[in-house]
Amino acid sequence: MDLGLTDRVCIVTGSSSGIGLETARILTAEGARVVVCGRDLERTEIARKRAGASLGFALDLADPASPAELVRGTEEAFGRVDVLVNNVGLAYQIAFEQLTDEHWSSIWNLNVMSYVRSIQAVLPGMRARHSGVIVNVSSTAGKRPSVSMPNYSVSKAAVLSLSRLVADLYAKEGIRCNAVAPGPTATDAWLSEGGLADQSRAGKEMSREEMLAAVGAGRPLGRLAEPEEIAAAIVFLCSERSSYVTGAAWSVDGGTVPIII
């Protein structure tokens, strides 16, 4: 199936590893001109080469000025941005009563405001061309809050609302906006030392591997997602084959959240 992505200029944030890297790789394979972005210069350059991407930027998107810098640099290089995939994010486990104002503000700034700022930066060009696609990566925790990740859950629920808002505001101007809600995925966020699997097994007599197996077994499909499985859904929503889809929140979670919206 031709996805109609040849020569489309696509920004993928949080793309030095995991879902973002796989999204960049698949978009490149579909003929798109892809821009990757991460905080670390060396990791971003490695990701750019692995994905075959056209360009890479080392920027901290928690910095309010960085999203506009990313978009400006892309437009200077390619003349436009056709597709924006907001994927950057932070997740960790913490008890609700332990959350400080700083916990709330830091995760909100990265998980929500970097999306808002990136969207605001691409909108002028997309509106002028009467064309554009935005895909925001949320989470199952945005549809059904995780009690072990309260501030993360609230931030991801906000991403769902933001996605619907942008879809409603700009559909008549030819701009589509959708969200993807992944479940637990085999990325560094779960697999790395000190990651979510280690946080989940704290105080329990379980190895990291045993915890990962237990988390996977809790999905109806019986396993964690692979990054490329989430990326495939993102890329489809970026493509011309999804041209009549906007304002949607697609669960890609192995059946984790037992709702149909």
- Note if 170 is an active site residue: no
- The single residue of 115, 152, 170, 244 carrying the catalytic annotation is 152
Instruction: State the burial class of residue 223 (Cβ atoms within 10 Å of its Cβ: 0-12, 13-18, 19+).
Output: middle
Exposure letters 143-172 (e unless 16+ CB within 10 A, then b): bebeebbbbbbbbbbbbbebbbebbeebee
Name 250's bridge partners: 180
Name 38's bridge partners: 58
Q: How many CB atoms lie within 10 A of CB 73?
A: 16
Residue with tokens 């405001």: 113
**The pair of three-digit structure tokens given for residue 12, joined into one six-digit string:** 């993928």
In angstroms, the CA 215 to CA 223 distance is: 7
Tell me which residues are annotated as active site: 152
